């Protein structure tokens, strides 16, 4: 190999090294920026999902009740009767503690965790324990998508015409998430842990909540959001 050829090879190698020293850090920088952008987008998507979930759940659960009767507000907690089903009492079906109802709801009544509010013919709601329920084979035409059940309640009902099945629960803004507790159980997260701060409060005959939601680490504090229900 001639000296000229060897010299050219050395120059080419040096140029290659120089180009790599410039291009590789630039390429890594582009990859890092894309990664940071993707991470930021993912965090923002979770923050928005947290807001949407809280908005839908709280409005859905609380709009079906009345303040100081069906739900009670604390700084970071709302205790409530969480209504799960509705039952129209069949005329002439009440016998002692038993009655037959046409039922519709988000799930089947469960005597192990549910109670029932019964509306009497006198216009008053009264709370009862749901001691037993049996699905019967009778027709249920009073409610769309309804089914017929026989309930045993305590104490003995007074001329009931309508029933609302509920479980006792509470919503909490704790440990970075909206959480739900049924009875004496643990607080289960319903959203990603993106809540920076939040509070509940009664407001104008209804209920209001305020949330601050975190985005990606190192970025701005994130979304601030509030909602209400009556």
The DSSP result for 201-220, as a single string, is EEETTEEEEEEEE--STTS-
Q: Would you call 153 helix, strand, or coil by DSSP? A: strand
* Strands, E assignment, 136-194: 147-154, 160-174, 177-182, 188-189
Q: What does the pLDDT look like over 20-75, one tens digit per residue?
A: 565 556 555 555 455 445 555 666 777 778 888 888 888 888 888 888 889 888 88
Which domains are present in the chain? 49-77+168-229 (no CATH), 81-167 (2.40.30)
What is the DSSP annotation of 72-136? EE-SSEEEEEEEEEEEEEPTT--BTTEEEEEEEESS---TTTEEEEEEETTS-EEEEEEEEEEE-
Whole-number pLDDT of residue 42: 67
How large is the average pLDDT for residues 195-216?
78
pLDDT band at 79, cuts 50/70/90? very high
Burial class (CB in 10 A: 0-12, 13-18, 19+), 27: exposed
Lookup: tokens for 20: 């790599």
User: Do 127 and 110 form a contact (C-beta atoms < 8 A)?
Assistant: no
pLDDT band at 203, cuts 50/70/90? confident
> Among 6-10, 55-59, 205-209, whose mean pLDDT is lowest?
6-10
Averaged pLDDT of the chain:
81
Whole-number pLDDT of residue 125: 95
Q: Which residue has the higher pLDDT, 186 or 12?
A: 186
**Alpha carbons 89 and 109: distance in angstroms, whole number:** 15
Indicate whether 157 pLDDT > 70.
Answer: yes
Whole-number pLDDT of residue 220: 47
How large is the average pLDDT for residues 101-105?
95
How large is the average pLDDT for residues 113-138?
94
Whole-number pLDDT of residue 166: 96
Whole-number pLDDT of residue 225: 57
How large is the average pLDDT for residues 151-155?
97
Whole-number pLDDT of residue 154: 97
Counting Cα atoms < 13 Å in the Cβ hemisphere of 60 gives: 8
- Interacting residues of 142 by C-beta distance below 8 A, sequence separation 6+: 88, 102
* % pLDDT > 90, the chain: 41
Phi, psi angle pair for 51, to nearest 5°: -65, -45
Burial 94-115 (b: 16+ CB within 10 A, else e): beebbbbbbbbbeeebeeeebb
**Alpha carbons 78 and 164: distance in angstroms, whole number:** 20
């Amino acid at each position: 190999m001639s000296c000229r050829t060897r010299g050219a090879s050395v120059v080419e190698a040096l140029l290659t090294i120089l180009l790599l020293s410039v291009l590789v850090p630039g390429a890594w920088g582009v990859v890092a920026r894309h990664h940071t952008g993707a991470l930021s987008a993912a965090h923002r998507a979770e923050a928005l999902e947290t807001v949407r979930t809280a908005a839908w759940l709280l409005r859905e659960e609380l709009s079906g009740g009345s303040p100081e009767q069906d739900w009670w507000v604390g700084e970071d907690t709302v205790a409530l009767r969480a209504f799960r089903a509705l039952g129209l009492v069949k005329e002439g079906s009440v016998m002692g503690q038993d009655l037959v109802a046409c039922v519709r709801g988000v799930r089947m009544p469960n005597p192990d965790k549910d109670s029932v509010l019964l509306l009497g013919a006198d216009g008053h709601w009264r709370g009862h324990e749901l001691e037993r329920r049996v699905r019967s084979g009778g027709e249920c035409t009073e409610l769309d998508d309804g089914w017929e059940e026989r309930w045993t309640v305590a104490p003995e009902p007074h001329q009931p015409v309508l029933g609302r099945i509920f479980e006792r629960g509470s919503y909490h803004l704790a440990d970075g998430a909206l959480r739900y507790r049924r009875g004496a159980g643990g607080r289960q997260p319903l959203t990603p842990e993106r809540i920076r701060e939040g509070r509940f409060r009664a407001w104008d005959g209804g209920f209001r909540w305020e949330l601050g939601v975190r985005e990606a680490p190192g970025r701005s504090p994130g979304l601030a959001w509030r909602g209400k229900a009556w």
